[in-house]
Structure 1
Amino acid sequence: MTYASEKLPEEKVFKDPVHRYIHVRDKIIWDLIGTKEFQRLRRIRQLGTTFLTFHGAEHSRFNHSLGVYEIVRRIVDDVFRGRPEWNEDERLLSLCAALLHDVGHGPFSHSFEKVFHLDHEDFTQAIILGNTEINRVLSNAGAEFPKKVAEVIAKTYKNKQVISLISSQIDADRMDYLQRDAFYTGVQYGHFDMERILRVMRPREDQVVIKYSGMHAVEDYIMSRYQMYWQVYFHPVTRSAEVILSKILHRAKALYENNYSFQADPVHFYSIFKGDVTVEDYLKLDESIILYYFQEWQKEKDPILSDLCNRFINRRLFKYVEFQPSNEQLMKLIELTNLFKKAGIDPEYYLVVDSSSDLPYDFYRPGEEEERLPIHLLMPNGEIRELSRESEIVDAITGKRRTDHKLYFPLDFLKDFSEKRNLKKQILEILQLTDKDGFIL
């Protein structure tokens, strides 16, 4: 028996609120879960700053990664097994890629990446291929095995069928996070009939398709995703927290570059600030480390860093108003920027336009920058048809990008303008705030 085929003496299970149980029989999966790089995901929240909006959203990337693994395990063991279009030799590769697909996420995930121009998928591949416990476990299954797992993450693996299980418009990743995020935030939007979708999934050359009889379950899934993005992921309060988080990191980096003397020296950030972060440095960062610095930086002499950290730690978030990037609104933004400067408020940190954008579903458009593999239906006559060609509901939203812009600012600063009433009046008029917002005009 080889390591790749080795089973545990007894099946291990994780109790899970979404899938009831997560089953592990393969020794390599159990060993991967036990690595320090995978255990680190317990200290990375799945939804970043969303816990400041939905107090239940404290679940981790660890939870989610196990969930994605379990969905793929069910597909390859229960749905695909024995079908001629599925190569059983790809089973373990699919399971390992599913489990490890998020292992490169940093603290507060996407906000952290944007500030420092990092890519969690690059770090996922580096962790899989580098001098790590994960690499040593994977290498036990074959010298080339880590490379194959990394190729699945990079979407360059030769068998696109395996890639589509964890990275497509209807994959195990999305099916888990929609349900898991809905559960922990307490909303109803992310629920759909996953059991039905799994039953009608079929392997085909270079892709996974859905039987035509399951089309309505897929429609429900796509609409659930649409609602989750706009009601949860792009919630304006969450975005306010993300704005403050980003500005804290920007301010700390700017101070470091100007040789500011920190009371709490950001030693964990040095390599990131310099732009030469190693995998070893990166893996030392988690949200407990970030929050420690934010807690300490409340006592810094720099008033901007101190204030922003105080806001994040104590949930004193920015107010927001709707903002459309028209010529008229942009002129108002320029005027606001000048007024903030006159008032002694740095607009770089306290006047921020934030935009959110989502494309619920699209089909592949040759030549466009971002390739989107469409969802294909297996018709009763054996023909393969792209989903929007058969579904009027999906056709109605296909290729339609929705974008939302908001302007964030510290409402409490404006309320303190007792000696700058003229400035306050001008700012409030532009922001269209009135005494109903708690102002004495």
Structure 2
Amino acid sequence: MVYTNGKLDEKKVFKDPVHKYVQVRDKVIWDLIGTSEFQRLRRIKQLGTTFYTFHGAEQSRFNHSLGVYEIVRRMIDDVFDGRPQWNAEDRLLCLCAALLHDLGHGPFSHSFEKVFHLNHEKFTQRIILGDTEVNRVLRRVGSDFPQRVSDVIAKTSDNKLAISMISSQIDADRMDYLLRDAYFTGVSYGNFDMERILRVMRPQGDQVVIKASGMHAVEHYIMSRYQMYWQVYFHPVTRSAEVILTKILHRAKALHSQYYTFKYEPAHFYSLFEEEVTLEDYLKLDENIMYYYFQVWQEEEDSILRDLCRRFMNRNLFKYVDFTEKQHGLNNWVELSSLFKKAGIDPEYYLVVDSTSDLPYDFYRAGEEEERLPILLLMPNGELRELSRESDIVEAITGKKRTDQKLFYPHDLIYEDSKKGKVKEKIISLLEGKG
């Protein structure tokens, strides 16, 4: 079937806690939502292990993808439509790219990717361009349409305006996840006036710009993003759960390489262990599958895998201390590792330094690897001005990267052992910066 008028007989809606309603009139969008590859996103959490810190953070990438689509739809239908800088023929391209931008995410996305050397963006492209339901729906629009959508998501398209709508420093993706994540975690940090920002957005050449009268709403958005990263996304309890999750996957992979006989055969992991993951294998993976293995691996003979899975499933997480060069320099780190071994605790799995950092706003600087398009203000006289040149608030944080390092360890194996002995007493002294 080929899309003719491209419209449904009647508008479909999804009730949404953030946007009230997600509206669908285009048949291609409705059909994409119904594909097995898109429905798989219901089984992948948007925020990974954050639910261990904020128990409401159970929303899925399906929710988020619909939200990003809805924001782009509103940009186009409510603001851009009819403006001379907007090409109406790009409407469907932008809507499909917005809807499918996270299609390739795997379970527990970033931890999963790091262990198995995967890239969700590449899998997004493989799903869109491969032998999939999504590809067949997109091809009904045109034989080259899957490639065009993929290029926008991969940021390789000549249509820079379409890219900026879903991937820039003020885009539909960020606006949705800040509002959605704030809602489901129950915090107020991520709230900002999206309605105002949408009203002052304008298509201008290769990117979306903001009318100068909306500068204060953008300031609020940037500070909301800053607070969400440090109060929610980088919360040390969430990071502790991620550390354990990562170590479970590393341990399972290591055991496989040692020809360990699993009590419960990890059939879904074999291609991951060998780093020969087919698209078919990848699409079978979701967090339900992962939880099954974490559940049964609590009964494995290997004590490390068994313990780590029990910790993850029962939220018996690692404790943490700030990791500073002054208190935990290289010499102390080497000594800590040695003492862990003497105490019978494998430092490879139970002593972990995790570093995280964020750059709340920046713009391209000559000689740097990654180009960051600035947020541009459209002044009353038609001039475009970079945001930090007009905003004292944004100027104060522009280019300032904040980093946080934590040292994670199993408190119960060290502090709660009635027979601590001199080795564990020395470990405690070093952890507390007294060594």
Does residue 45 (structure 1) correspond to residue 32 (structure 2)? The answer is no
Pick which of 46-55 and 111-120 moved more. 111-120
Query: How many angstroms does 1:126 deviate by?
Result: 0.5
Partner in structure 1 of residue 358 of structure 2 = 358
Q: Could you tell me how far apart the structure 2 residues matched to 1:5 and 1:382 are?
A: 37
Q: Could you tell me how far apart the structure 2 residues matched to 1:126 and 1:382 are?
A: 42
Partner in structure 2 of residue 269 of structure 1 = 269
Partner in structure 2 of residue 407 of structure 1 = 407
Alignment of 1:9-408 (within 5 A): 9-325=9-325, 329-408=329-408
Amino acid in the other structure paired with 1:302 = D
Q: Could you tell me how far apart the structure 2 residues matched to 1:405 and 1:250 are?
A: 21
| Residues 4, 92 of structure 1: 8 Å contact kept | no
Q: Describe the superposition over 1:123-174 as per-residue Cα deviations: whole angstroms up to 9, x where unpaired.
A: 0000000000000000000000000000001101111000000000000000
Query: How many angstroms does 1:177 deviate by?
Result: 0.2
Identify if the C-alpha distance between structure 1 residues 150 and 197 changes in structure 2 by more than 3 Å, giving closer, same or farther. same
Q: Could you tell me how far apart the structure 2 residues matched to 1:4 and 1:158 are?
A: 26
Q: Could you tell me how far apart the structure 2 residues matched to 1:313 and 1:401 are?
A: 34
Q: Describe the superposition over 1:280-328 as per-residue Cα deviations: whole angstroms up to 9, x where unpaired.
A: 1001000000000000000000000000000000000000000024596
SS in 2 for 1:247: helix
Identify if the C-alpha distance between structure 1 residues 217 and 288 changes in structure 2 by more than 3 Å, giving closer, same or farther. same
Query: How many angstroms does 1:334 deviate by?
Result: 1.0
Q: Describe the superposition over 1:324-362 as per-residue Cα deviations: whole angstroms up to 9, x where unpaired.
A: 245962221111111000001000000000011000000
Query: How many angstroms does 1:5 deviate by?
Result: 4.0
Pick which of 371-380 and 176-185 moved more. 371-380
Q: Could you tell me how far apart the structure 2 residues matched to 1:211 and 1:20 are?
A: 26
The number of aligned residues is 434
| Residues 343, 420 of structure 1: 8 Å contact kept | no
Query: How many angstroms does 1:219 deviate by?
Result: 0.3
Q: Describe the superposition over 1:56-90 as per-residue Cα deviations: whole angstroms up to 9, x where unpaired.
A: 00000000000000000000111000001000000
SS in 1 for 2:21: strand
Q: Could you tell me how far apart the structure 2 residues matched to 1:185 and 1:327 are?
A: 33
Amino acid in the other structure paired with 1:203 = P
Q: Describe the superposition over 1:29-77 as per-residue Cα deviations: whole angstroms up to 9, x where unpaired.
A: 0000000000000000000000111000000000000000000000011
TM-score normalised over the length of structure 2: 0.98
RMSD (CA atoms): 1.3
Amino acid in the other structure paired with 2:155 = K
Q: Could you tell me how far apart the structure 1 residues matched to 2:432 and 2:327 are?
A: 17
Where does structure 2 lack aligned partners over 5 or more consecutive residues? none
Q: Could you tell me how far apart the structure 1 residues matched to 2:395 and 2:5 are?
A: 44
| Residues 321, 407 of structure 1: 8 Å contact kept | yes
Q: Could you tell me how far apart the structure 1 residues matched to 2:126 and 2:287 are?
A: 20
Q: Could you tell me how far apart the structure 1 residues matched to 2:331 and 2:379 are?
A: 54
| Residues 2, 140 of structure 2: 8 Å contact kept | no
Q: Could you tell me how far apart the structure 2 residues matched to 1:344 and 1:353 are?
A: 19
Q: Could you tell me how far apart the structure 2 residues matched to 1:59 and 1:232 are?
A: 14
| Residues 4, 28 of structure 1: 8 Å contact kept | no
SS in 1 for 2:329: helix
Amino acid in the other structure paired with 1:30 = W
Identify if the C-alpha distance between structure 1 residues 380 and 142 changes in structure 2 by more than 3 Å, giving closer, same or farther. same
Q: Could you tell me how far apart the structure 1 residues matched to 2:375 and 2:419 are?
A: 60
Query: How many angstroms does 1:368 deviate by?
Result: 1.2
Q: Describe the superposition over 1:235-280 as per-residue Cα deviations: whole angstroms up to 9, x where unpaired.
A: 0000000000000000000000110000111110111111110111
Query: How many angstroms does 1:2 deviate by?
Result: 5.9
Identify if the C-alpha distance between structure 1 residues 96 and 292 changes in structure 2 by more than 3 Å, giving closer, same or farther. same
Q: What is the percentage of aligned positions where both structures have the same residue?
A: 73
Q: Could you tell me how far apart the structure 2 residues matched to 1:27 and 1:328 are?
A: 58
SS in 2 for 1:8: strand
Identify if the C-alpha distance between structure 1 residues 6 and 126 changes in structure 2 by more than 3 Å, giving closer, same or farther. same
Partner in structure 2 of residue 418 of structure 1 = 418
Query: How many angstroms does 1:367 deviate by?
Result: 2.7
Query: How many angstroms does 1:416 deviate by?
Result: 4.5
SS in 2 for 1:249: helix
| Residues 328, 433 of structure 2: 8 Å contact kept | no
